[in-house]
Amino acid sequence: MMVTGGAGFLGSVVVRRLQEAGADHVFVPKVEEYDLRTRADIDRALADGKPDLVIHLAAVVGGIGANRENPGRFFYDNAIMGIQLIEQARLARVAKLLTVGTVCAYPKFTSVPFHEDDIWNGYPEETNAPYGLAKKMLLVQSQAYRDQYGFNAIYLIPVNLYGPGDNFDPASSHVIPALIKKCVDAREAGDAFIEAWGTGSASREFLYVEDAARGILLAAERYDGREPVNLGVGSEITIRSLTELIVRLTRFQGQVRWDPSKPDGQPRRALDTTRARESFGFTAGTSFEDGLRNTIDWYEARRTNN
């Protein structure tokens, strides 16, 4: 089998779990050796890996700031990589291809909780629409290839992921690692306050990376349907409440100053997780506080060691 993005945050956990489950050979096309935006390198990766299953996790992605600064790059890189991979995998007679999409594909104003049938009911939130639409086209392609060629391509939609190994770079990180870094660094420096983007009123749902990897493996093993499937926990938290929780868990004693000139992003995000439970038996098993503590501990240990 082949896992694109297998050296990344989610991919490394998926690869480890595959190996723990007894997978004999998991091929990871490293970005230093294979540029998956080019057809020749995709063909080379498929020839080298000889997979019967491809799990497509590779993506060019970031938080709200990175999305605002790179809309063209995020659209092109994600679209061209996925479109060519699905086509070349079909031509190489790969038995099954699993694409991991994004919750950013959902319309900006979607009734909560988001159900998979809602995905075409409007335009995505503007700051991440190019990324979300590029990923959503891979759902269209997967369904079209299933209909015309009988290609077994499935599509999962995870919510925002977090956990040890996440991206803590302030230029491209998502909200949880960004807040953890701000709070821990401010605590260590004795700062009186941190700044947080937006108003804090938006809500998000977060899935622990280990749970996400387990859901992906269950789908790879048990799901062969044409319809997209949400991966999440089925509950949401406001960014303000999330910030207060991270402040408490990191033992930061200062203030939080909100900057309403910065965007909140999509107003609400929470998924209906019924289809994943009924289709392949997935439910998230990690409590949010436990997952956050593990993530904070990982960052603090890494920060100390560096």
CA nearest 143: which of 218, 56, 228? 228
Strands 193-197 and 255-259: parallel
CA nearest 239: which of 218, 266, 220? 266
Asked if residues 239 and 204 have their Cβ atoms less than 8 Å apart, the reply is: yes
131 labelled catalytic: yes
Catalytic, out of 131, 145, 155, 223: 131
Q: Is 150 exposed, middle or buried (0-12, 13-18, 19+ CB in 10 A)?
A: exposed
Q: How many CA atoms lie within 13 A of 222 on its CB side?
A: 15
User: Among the residues of the chain, which ranges form H helices?
Assistant: 9-20, 39-49, 64-69, 71-91, 129-149, 175-189, 209-222, 239-250, 274-280, 288-305
Give the distance, in angstroms, between the CA of residue 142 and the centroid of all CA atoms in the same chain.
19
Beta-bridge partner residues of 157: 230
Annotated catalytic residues are 131
